[in-house]
Amino acid sequence: MKQLMILLFSVAIISCAKDQELRIFDNTDSELWDYYAAFEDEALKRGIEIDLNSHQLTSNISNISEDGVVGTCQFHFNNPNEITIDQNFWNNASELIKEMVVFHELGHCVLFRGHLEDFDNQGTCLSIMNSGLAECRVRYNVNNREAYLNELFLAE
């Protein structure tokens, strides 16, 4: 009986490990991997297949010296595009806000989205692709996340 319980427990752990398969993204800071996997998953939920490794991005978390900038996407003609997320921001942000900023930068570097400054009559930004300079507030939360992601991937 004890051996059967050990076997069942081992199978359960292996099954969970397969469900939680670690996806590795080349030239990307490992702290970003879960967010990159989530970006691919969210795109796929909307019928868009994205393989971030095929984009050959370079992505890191390091200091950004420009005031008020928490992330950048730099386009390079002869080299892969580069995403940088500010280290201080990363150390202090919630998981949901980290996701929003990473998705915003991937929106630039992978989806080739520009900034969208539209907002509703309550001053809420209609896209996570806003510049942060507009007169709107992003209210990205668990209640409206799907709407923001639909707009990001489907421009709805």
- Which domains, from first to last, does the chain contain? 22-154 (3.40.390)
Report residue 156 as tokens. Answer: 């709805």
What is the value of pTM for the model shown?
0.84
Contacts of 97 (CB under 8 A, 6+ apart): 140
Helix (H, G, I), strand (E, B) or coil at 17: helix
Predicted local distance difference test score (pLDDT) of residue 9 = 41
pLDDT at 109: 94
Q: Quick check: 85 and 61 in contact, CB under 8 A?
A: yes
56-69 confidence digits (pLDDT tens) = 899 999 999 998 89
Mean pLDDT value across residues 6-13: 41
86-95, long-range: CB within 8 Å, 24+ apart, which pairs? 86/61, 86/62, 87/61, 87/62, 87/63, 88/63, 90/31, 90/61
pLDDT digits (tens, 9 = 90+) for 84-136: 999 999 999 999 999 999 999 999 999 999 999 999 999 999 999 999 887 88
Specify the amino acid at residue 48. I
Question: What residues pair up with 137 in beta bridges, in sequence order?
Answer: 124
54 DSSP assignment:
G
